[in-house]
Amino acid sequence: MAAVPDISLNNGQNIPQLGFGVFQIDPAETAAAVQQALKVGYRHIDTAEMYQNEAGVGEGLRASGLDRSEVFLTSKLNNGYHAPDDARRAFDETLDALGTDYVDLFLIHWPLPGRYDGDFVSTWQTLEEFYREGRARSIGVSNFQVHHLRRLASESTIVPAVNQIEVHPYITNEEVRAYCSEHRIAVEAWSPIAQGGVLEDPTILTIANRVGKSAAQVTLRWHIQRGDIIFPKSTTPARIEENFELFDFELTDADLSAISALDKGEQGRTGPNPDQFNFIPS
Ligand SMILES: NC(=O)c1ccc[n+]([C@@H]2O[C@H](COP(=O)([O-])OP(=O)(O)OC[C@H]3O[C@@H](n4cnc5c(N)ncnc54)[C@H](OP(=O)(O)O)[C@@H]3O)[C@@H](O)[C@H]2O)c1
């Protein structure tokens, strides 16, 4: 099987374009799911403090027998820890839970415009410390809109390496993607199959029938050919394998356009709008 391509980030680090997401995986099942994914060939895991399963990710990685350096690990700062001292403490705890002395990528999970007096800049400057210390090899953001990114550009020094945002055929999020592309910020597309919500779509099913692949594989391949980074989640071993088999077929330009035309804009979101989301877990 063809290898997963790397995407080169704006600081020279490489990230595998296809990884494995662990949102909503029960902490007790996470180590087994991660081990399964690593066995299949995934070398990039996306977790977050909010998912409460960082320890399971670390355990799965150690049980795999792979060297730490062979796997790209991402985690994210939980919403309750944006104040700089809290962020420092939370980052230490993330490294402890993962059982590692660095992450490959660390993200601000949400901008939270209605919290901390709207200040996500001092949070970002704290992530810049982690980057300079080498404890986060790359730093980035998640769920940032164009106006949030513009503010970071004018008030801080390091350009985020990535912006992890909701992208799938029902919300193609072109405005944010265009800004990111212009400023060399790699886009990570979360919920790449809309948590299963696009898999019955007739346009996607027609293409899937023609190319002899599943609706999930066609949708994931659409992301790959658009150049975004993805990490579909599954706890079903057959699907973990299926979602990795994306590199032995190609979609035509017409297929890509037909899938992109399914965009429903704001109506297509499965998750919250980042301009309105101010949730802090208890
Ligand atoms: N930054 C953020 O705010 C944010 C938000 C959401 C997600 N994320 C990240 O993005 C990752 C992926 O997003 P997601 O987990 O929300 O959703 P997703 O990957 O789009 O979809 C996962 C769902 O689809 C099912 N599924 C997976 N592969 C399938 C296949 N081949 N055929 C049929 N069904 C399939 C899974 O079921 P089973 O598990 O039962 O197989 C699960 O219910 C997350 O795990 C997380 O790392 C980030």
Asked if residue 139 lies in contact with residue 105, where contact means CB atoms within 8 angstroms, the answer is yes
User: If you search the block for the tokens 């790359």, which residue do you land on?
Assistant: 138
pTM: 0.98
* Amino acid letter, 266: E
**Atom 20, ligand 1: residue with shortest CA distance:** 191
C-beta 62 within 6 A of ligand 1: no
Helix axes 84-98, 54-64, angle to 10 degrees: 30
Q: Is 39 exposed, middle or buried (0-12, 13-18, 19+ CB in 10 A)?
A: middle
C-beta 228 within 6 A of ligand 1: no
- Asked whether the predicted pLDDT for residue 268 surpasses 70, the reply is yes
Which phi and psi (to 5°) does residue 160 adopt?
-55, 140
For the chain, the average pLDDT equals: 98
> What percentage of the chain carries pLDDT values higher than 70?
99
Could you read off the pLDDT of 113-159 as tens digits, one per residue? 999 999 999 999 999 999 999 999 999 999 999 999 999 999 999 99
What average pLDDT score do residues 170-174 get? 98
C-beta 235 within 6 A of ligand 1: yes
Question: For the stretch 157-181, what's the b/e string if a residue is b when 16 or more beta carbons lie within 10 angstroms of its beta carbon?
Answer: ebebbbbbbbbbbbbbbeebbebbe
Asked if residue 42 lies in contact with residue 20, where contact means CB atoms within 8 angstroms, the answer is yes
Q: How far apart are CA 125 and CA 119, in angstroms?
A: 11
Q: Coil, strand or helix: which one is 155?
A: helix
Q: Report, in angstroms and rounded to the nearest whole number, the Rg of the chain calculated over CA atoms.
A: 18
Could you read off the pLDDT of 216-236 as tens digits, one per residue? 999 999 999 999 999 999 999
Pairing, β 20-21 against β 14-16: unpaired
For residue 232, which atom of ligand 1 is closest to its CA? 19
Q: What is the pLDDT of residue 1?
A: 59
What is the CA(266)–ligand 1 centre distance, in A? 19
C-beta 216 within 6 A of ligand 1: yes
Residue 165 confidence class, pLDDT cut points 50, 70, 90: very high
The neighbour count for residue 222, using CB atoms within 10 Å, is 27
| Residue to mutate (ligand 1; options 142, 233, 245; most atoms within 8 A of CB) | 233
Asked if residue 105 lies in contact with residue 138, where contact means CB atoms within 8 angstroms, the answer is yes
Catalytic residue status for 102: no
Q: What is the pLDDT of residue 228?
A: 99
Q: What is the pLDDT of residue 259?
A: 99
Pairing, β 20-21 against β 103-108: unpaired
- Asked whether the predicted pLDDT for residue 282 surpasses 90, the reply is no
Largest CA distance in the chain: 54
* Amino acid letter, 234: S
The neighbour count for residue 55, using CB atoms within 10 Å, is 16
What is the CA(85)–ligand 1 centre distance, in A? 32
- Asked whether the predicted pLDDT for residue 170 surpasses 80, the reply is yes
Could you read off the pLDDT of 46-96 as tens digits, one per residue? 999 999 999 999 999 999 999 999 999 999 999 999 999 999 999 999 999
Catalytic residue among 42, 51, 81, 170: 51
